[in-house]
Amino acid sequence: MHEGSYFTYIMASRSHTLYIGVTGDLLKRVFQHKWRECGGFTERYNCDRLVWFEGQQDVTRAIAREKQLKGWRREKKIALIEKMNPAWVDLAREWYDLEPADERRALDRMDV
């Protein structure tokens, strides 16, 4: 699916609140963020869209990159995202059969 074994990634909310993380299983970790299985920051601020990621072969390099990005000013993080993803689209939108937002809309229609 991706070239690396470990990933540094950025999740964002609709209002562009950013969360930076590292994982060995990007597909699973993004799913956990989307379905709010992680709790904490990403759930509180609804960071449910994958807007940037980078693969690494070595976990220490992925962690070092995560720390580097966390030390950057917000403007530099935004420039990094917009270089890969100018429209801030959810890069994982097509990875799953059902998105949490789709399920919420379906449940809202059933309440009518």
Three-state helix/strand/coil letters over 43-64 = HHCCCCEEEEEEEECCHHHHHH
Distance CA 9, CA 29 (A): 10
In angstroms, the Cα distances linking 76 to 47, 64, 68, 69, 72 are: 19, 17, 11, 9, 6
Q: Please report the domains of the chain, with CATH numbers, ordered by start residue.
A: 6-111 (3.40.1440.10)
Q: Specify the pairing of strand 6-12 against strand 49-56.
A: antiparallel
Distance CA 88, CA 56 (A): 22
pTM over 0.85: no
- Would the pLDDT of 102 be above 60? no
- Grouping H, G, I as helix, E, B as strand and the rest as coil, residue 100 is helix
Distance CA 100, CA 96 (A): 10
Give the confidence band of 107 by pLDDT, cuts at 50, 70, 90.
very low
Each residue of 40-71: pLDDT tens digit?
898 899 999 999 999 999 999 999 999 999 99
